[in-house]
Amino acid sequence: MRIPQNPIGRTLLTLAALCLMVYWARRFPAASLFVLLVPPVLVINFAHDPRTRNMAISVFVVLWLFVFHYESTRAFYLNPVTQIELPKFKFLFPPAGWIMFYNVDDTYSHIEVYRRMGQNVQLIDPHDIFRTRTFGFDNIHRNVLSVVGIRGNAAAFCQYLTWRFPSYDDFFVMAVYYPSLVKEPHKRLQEVIYSCEAAAKDRR
């Protein structure tokens, strides 16, 4: 099937595809999110024609904006206005939506892990610690290392680091804190939370 070259034909085809996806999303509400978003994603990944890919990207952006804003306003705004319980998109988390952007503080903190060999201490790239394939997003940038800053996880994490980097003598888990990224973007405070060598001695 060839994509019509006429702009009007392409527009009508796009509208027909959107109507079909909306129908199937209503017909199978449990899989509505996949019914709406997977087809344009497949076209984006496998289409060779730039125009087709651009059209699919536009469709995906429109659908995702609709889904996001609908789910953000459904519980607290749309349900009271319509006086009915509107359907929820399954598998879409978190349902809070816009609240994620409310009252964002200018402080920032994260965890860094260092390795030592003799007197040489090096920062470990988190991507070298967790070699995990991701699907469309990067857990490293979501501060996945924050969980290793809990002292209760020291034993398990140190055991993993020793297995992952067997040639190093010790490892340090450090908290890095920026008091104000707006007023003092270069002011950086840091503190060693624990070292694997000290944690091993404490266990003895």
Domain boundaries, the chain: 7-98, 105-203
> Is there a cis peptide before residue 94, judged by omega within 30 degrees of 0?
yes
pLDDT at residue 99, rounded to an integer: 56
Q: What is the pLDDT of residues 67-89, one digit of tens each?
A: 888 887 887 788 889 999 888 88
pTM of the shown model: 0.50
Q: Are 97 and 106 in contact (CB under 8 A)?
A: no
Q: What is the pLDDT of residues 116-161, one digit of tens each?
A: 998 999 999 888 888 766 545 566 666 788 889 988 899 999 999 9
> What burial letters (b/e) apply to 13-35, b meaning 16+ CB within 10 Å?
ebeebeeebeeebeeeeeebbbb
Q: Is a pLDDT exceeding 90 seen at residue 18?
A: no
pLDDT at residue 1, rounded to an integer: 47
What's the half-sphere exposure (Cβ side, CA atoms, 13 Å) at 92?
Answer: 24
Name the one residue in this structure whose structure tokens are 């398990």.
Answer: 156
Q: Tell how many helices (H) and how many strands (E) occur in the chain.
A: 7, 4
Q: What is the pLDDT of residues 165-185, one digit of tens each?
A: 999 999 999 999 999 988 898
- Rounded to an integer, the average pLDDT of 20-40 is 81
pLDDT at residue 201, rounded to an integer: 66
d(CA 40, CA 55): 9
Q: 121: which strand partners?
A: 116
